[in-house]
Chains A and B, each alone.
Chain A
Amino acid sequence: MTMLHTVNKSPFESNTFDTCLGLAKSGSTVLLIEDGVYAATSGNAASDKIANANGISFCVLGPDLQARGLESKLADGIKVVDYEGFVNLVAEHDTVQSWL
Protein backbone atom coordinates (compact mmCIF):
# COMPACT_ATOMS: atom_id res chain seq x y z
CA MET A 1 0.00 0.00 0.00
CA THR A 2 1.38 3.39 -0.92
CA MET A 3 -0.25 6.44 0.56
CA LEU A 4 -0.36 10.07 -0.56
CA HIS A 5 -0.68 12.52 2.33
CA THR A 6 -1.74 16.10 1.69
CA VAL A 7 -1.12 18.85 4.25
CA ASN A 8 -2.82 22.25 3.85
CA LYS A 9 -1.91 23.97 7.15
CA SER A 10 1.16 26.01 8.00
CA PRO A 11 3.56 23.99 10.19
CA PHE A 12 3.97 27.07 12.39
CA GLU A 13 0.26 27.45 12.99
CA SER A 14 -0.95 23.92 13.66
CA ASN A 15 0.46 20.47 14.41
CA THR A 16 -1.07 18.93 11.26
CA PHE A 17 2.31 18.68 9.56
CA ASP A 18 3.91 17.00 12.60
CA THR A 19 1.00 14.57 12.95
CA CYS A 20 1.30 13.66 9.28
CA LEU A 21 5.05 13.06 9.54
CA GLY A 22 4.50 10.93 12.64
CA LEU A 23 2.13 8.61 10.82
CA ALA A 24 3.55 8.60 7.29
CA LYS A 25 5.39 5.36 6.54
CA SER A 26 8.45 4.87 4.44
CA GLY A 27 7.51 4.77 0.77
CA SER A 28 4.69 7.26 1.08
CA THR A 29 4.51 10.75 -0.40
CA VAL A 30 3.65 14.01 1.37
CA LEU A 31 2.21 16.75 -0.87
CA LEU A 32 2.20 20.24 0.62
CA ILE A 33 -0.66 22.46 -0.59
CA GLU A 34 -2.27 25.81 0.34
CA ASP A 35 -0.73 27.10 3.62
CA GLY A 36 1.05 23.74 3.90
CA VAL A 37 3.60 25.02 1.37
CA TYR A 38 5.33 27.03 4.10
CA ALA A 39 6.83 23.72 5.29
CA ALA A 40 8.62 23.51 1.93
CA THR A 41 10.72 26.64 2.54
CA SER A 42 14.31 26.48 3.73
CA GLY A 43 15.97 27.55 6.96
CA ASN A 44 13.35 26.66 9.54
CA ALA A 45 12.20 23.85 11.83
CA ALA A 46 9.94 22.30 9.19
CA SER A 47 12.72 22.01 6.61
CA ASP A 48 14.88 20.22 9.21
CA LYS A 49 12.10 17.68 9.78
CA ILE A 50 11.76 17.10 6.05
CA ALA A 51 15.50 16.57 5.70
CA ASN A 52 15.38 13.96 8.49
CA ALA A 53 12.29 12.08 7.25
CA ASN A 54 13.86 9.02 5.62
CA GLY A 55 12.00 7.15 2.93
CA ILE A 56 9.28 9.74 2.45
CA SER A 57 9.03 11.76 -0.78
CA PHE A 58 8.01 15.39 -0.50
CA CYS A 59 6.19 17.40 -3.15
CA VAL A 60 4.79 20.91 -3.13
CA LEU A 61 2.06 22.43 -5.28
CA GLY A 62 3.74 25.09 -7.45
CA PRO A 63 0.75 27.44 -7.86
CA ASP A 64 0.40 27.73 -4.06
CA LEU A 65 4.12 28.40 -3.69
CA GLN A 66 4.03 31.12 -6.38
CA ALA A 67 0.94 32.74 -4.87
CA ARG A 68 2.85 33.22 -1.61
CA GLY A 69 6.01 34.57 -3.26
CA LEU A 70 8.16 31.71 -1.99
CA GLU A 71 9.55 29.99 -5.07
CA SER A 72 13.05 31.25 -4.32
CA LYS A 73 12.87 29.92 -0.73
CA LEU A 74 12.15 26.29 -1.73
CA ALA A 75 14.19 23.80 0.34
CA ASP A 76 16.30 21.11 -1.35
CA GLY A 77 14.83 17.71 -2.09
CA ILE A 78 11.24 18.83 -2.59
CA LYS A 79 9.65 18.30 -5.98
CA VAL A 80 7.38 21.01 -7.37
CA VAL A 81 4.23 19.75 -9.10
CA ASP A 82 1.41 21.55 -10.93
CA TYR A 83 -2.28 20.65 -10.80
CA GLU A 84 -1.74 17.91 -13.38
CA GLY A 85 1.07 16.53 -11.24
CA PHE A 86 -1.30 16.56 -8.25
CA VAL A 87 -3.77 14.42 -10.21
CA ASN A 88 -0.98 12.04 -11.26
CA LEU A 89 0.13 11.64 -7.64
CA VAL A 90 -3.41 10.73 -6.62
CA ALA A 91 -3.59 8.19 -9.44
CA GLU A 92 -0.19 6.67 -8.62
CA HIS A 93 -0.95 6.02 -4.94
CA ASP A 94 -3.34 3.42 -3.53
CA THR A 95 -4.91 5.76 -1.01
CA VAL A 96 -5.02 9.47 -0.26
CA GLN A 97 -5.08 10.88 3.24
CA SER A 98 -6.01 14.57 3.37
CA TRP A 99 -4.85 15.99 6.69
CA LEU A 100 -7.03 18.96 7.54
Chain B
Amino acid sequence: MAIKKFMYINRKAPYGTIYALESLEVVLVGAAFDQDVSLAFIGDGVYELTKGQDTKAIGQKNFSPVYSALGDYDVNKIYVEKESLEERGLTLDDLQHLVWEDEDEDYAEKDSIRLVSRAELADVLDEQDIVLSF
Protein backbone atom coordinates (compact mmCIF):
# COMPACT_ATOMS: atom_id res chain seq x y z
CA MET B 1 0.00 0.00 0.00
CA ALA B 2 1.40 3.33 -1.02
CA ILE B 3 2.03 5.76 1.80
CA LYS B 4 -0.25 8.77 1.67
CA LYS B 5 0.04 12.11 3.40
CA PHE B 6 -2.77 12.48 5.93
CA MET B 7 -3.57 15.79 7.59
CA TYR B 8 -5.96 16.05 10.52
CA ILE B 9 -7.19 19.60 11.07
CA ASN B 10 -8.30 20.45 14.60
CA ARG B 11 -10.39 23.61 14.97
CA LYS B 12 -12.45 23.05 18.13
CA ALA B 13 -11.79 23.66 21.81
CA PRO B 14 -11.81 20.56 24.04
CA TYR B 15 -14.63 19.51 26.44
CA GLY B 16 -17.34 21.93 25.22
CA THR B 17 -17.92 19.68 22.21
CA ILE B 18 -16.82 16.14 21.34
CA TYR B 19 -14.80 17.06 18.20
CA ALA B 20 -11.37 17.24 19.85
CA LEU B 21 -11.66 13.82 21.48
CA GLU B 22 -13.12 12.24 18.33
CA SER B 23 -10.25 13.58 16.26
CA LEU B 24 -7.70 12.16 18.70
CA GLU B 25 -9.31 8.73 18.55
CA VAL B 26 -9.34 8.73 14.76
CA VAL B 27 -5.68 9.75 14.73
CA LEU B 28 -4.75 6.87 17.06
CA VAL B 29 -6.70 4.34 15.02
CA GLY B 30 -5.26 5.71 11.77
CA ALA B 31 -1.73 5.56 13.17
CA ALA B 32 -1.89 1.77 12.93
CA PHE B 33 -1.79 2.04 9.14
CA ASP B 34 1.74 3.42 8.79
CA GLN B 35 0.83 6.54 6.85
CA ASP B 36 2.52 9.93 6.81
CA VAL B 37 0.44 11.74 9.42
CA SER B 38 0.37 15.44 10.29
CA LEU B 39 -1.86 17.30 12.72
CA ALA B 40 -2.76 20.97 12.43
CA PHE B 41 -4.18 23.04 15.26
CA ILE B 42 -5.88 26.24 14.16
CA GLY B 43 -8.53 28.54 15.59
CA ASP B 44 -9.91 27.29 18.89
CA GLY B 45 -8.16 23.98 18.18
CA VAL B 46 -4.99 25.46 19.75
CA TYR B 47 -6.81 25.24 23.11
CA GLU B 48 -6.62 21.43 22.86
CA LEU B 49 -2.90 21.62 23.60
CA THR B 50 -2.88 23.91 26.66
CA LYS B 51 -0.91 22.53 29.58
CA GLY B 52 -2.28 22.09 33.09
CA GLN B 53 -5.72 20.85 32.08
CA ASP B 54 -7.56 19.43 35.11
CA THR B 55 -11.07 18.13 34.48
CA LYS B 56 -11.82 16.56 37.86
CA ALA B 57 -14.37 19.22 38.78
CA ILE B 58 -16.35 18.95 35.53
CA GLY B 59 -16.56 15.16 35.60
CA GLN B 60 -15.10 14.57 32.15
CA LYS B 61 -12.04 12.53 31.21
CA ASN B 62 -8.91 14.65 30.86
CA PHE B 63 -7.59 13.51 27.48
CA SER B 64 -4.77 16.05 27.23
CA PRO B 65 -2.11 13.47 28.32
CA VAL B 66 -2.90 11.51 25.15
CA TYR B 67 -1.28 14.24 23.02
CA SER B 68 2.06 13.45 24.67
CA ALA B 69 1.69 9.81 23.58
CA LEU B 70 1.39 10.75 19.89
CA GLY B 71 5.16 10.57 19.47
CA ASP B 72 5.01 6.85 20.35
CA TYR B 73 2.58 6.46 17.44
CA ASP B 74 5.03 8.11 15.03
CA VAL B 75 2.80 11.17 14.88
CA ASN B 76 5.42 13.84 15.20
CA LYS B 77 4.46 16.60 12.80
CA ILE B 78 2.18 18.83 14.84
CA TYR B 79 1.59 22.20 13.23
CA VAL B 80 0.31 25.05 15.40
CA GLU B 81 -0.79 28.21 13.64
CA LYS B 82 0.95 31.28 15.03
CA GLU B 83 -1.88 33.71 14.27
CA SER B 84 -4.42 31.54 16.10
CA LEU B 85 -2.26 31.54 19.23
CA GLU B 86 -1.74 35.30 19.07
CA GLU B 87 -5.43 36.08 18.55
CA ARG B 88 -6.12 34.21 21.79
CA GLY B 89 -3.35 35.82 23.84
CA LEU B 90 -1.41 32.54 23.98
CA THR B 91 2.21 31.63 23.30
CA LEU B 92 3.97 28.29 22.82
CA ASP B 93 4.79 28.39 26.55
CA ASP B 94 1.08 27.96 27.31
CA LEU B 95 1.05 24.67 25.40
CA GLN B 96 2.32 21.22 26.36
CA HIS B 97 5.87 20.44 25.30
CA LEU B 98 5.33 17.54 22.90
CA VAL B 99 8.29 15.41 21.89
CA TRP B 100 9.04 12.19 20.04
CA GLU B 101 11.96 9.80 20.38
CA ASP B 102 14.10 9.19 17.33
CA GLU B 103 14.95 5.49 17.45
CA ASP B 104 17.64 5.95 14.80
CA GLU B 105 19.47 8.43 17.01
CA ASP B 106 19.48 6.43 20.28
CA TYR B 107 16.01 7.67 21.26
CA ALA B 108 17.00 11.32 21.16
CA GLU B 109 14.03 13.52 22.12
CA LYS B 110 12.91 15.91 19.42
CA ASP B 111 10.19 18.56 19.39
CA SER B 112 6.95 17.58 17.69
CA ILE B 113 5.32 21.02 17.59
CA ARG B 114 6.10 23.25 14.63
CA LEU B 115 4.93 26.83 14.97
CA VAL B 116 3.91 28.03 11.50
CA SER B 117 2.31 31.11 10.01
CA ARG B 118 -1.03 30.91 8.24
CA ALA B 119 0.72 31.20 4.88
CA GLU B 120 3.16 28.41 5.75
CA LEU B 121 0.32 26.20 6.90
CA ALA B 122 -1.49 26.81 3.62
CA ASP B 123 1.57 25.38 1.85
CA VAL B 124 1.66 22.32 4.13
CA LEU B 125 -2.06 21.78 3.51
CA ASP B 126 -1.48 21.98 -0.21
CA GLU B 127 0.96 19.03 -0.07
CA GLN B 128 -1.51 16.62 1.52
CA ASP B 129 -3.22 13.67 -0.17
CA ILE B 130 -6.04 13.40 2.36
CA VAL B 131 -7.35 16.06 4.72
CA LEU B 132 -9.73 15.28 7.57
CA SER B 133 -11.41 18.12 9.42
CA PHE B 134 -12.58 18.22 13.02
Contacts and interface: CB of A to CB of B under 8 A. Distances in A.
Interface of A: 8-10, 12-13, 34-35, 38, 41-45, 47, 62-64, 66-73, 82
Interface stretch (B1-9, B13-21, B28-36, B74-82): B13-21
Interface string B49-69: 011111111101010100000
Given A64-B58, A69-B64, A73-B89, A13 B15 contact: no
- Give the size range of B's interface with the partner: 20 to 34
A38 B12 CA distance: 12
Interface of B: 12-17, 43-44, 47, 50-58, 60, 62, 64, 87-90, 94
Looking at chain B's contact residues, the main secondary structure is loop
Contacts, number: 75
A38 to B, nearest CB: 7
A47 B50 CA distance: 18
Nearest to A62: B57
A84 B15 CA distance: 21
A20 B108 CA distance: 50
A69 B52 contact: yes
B57 A63 contact: yes
Nearest to B15: A67
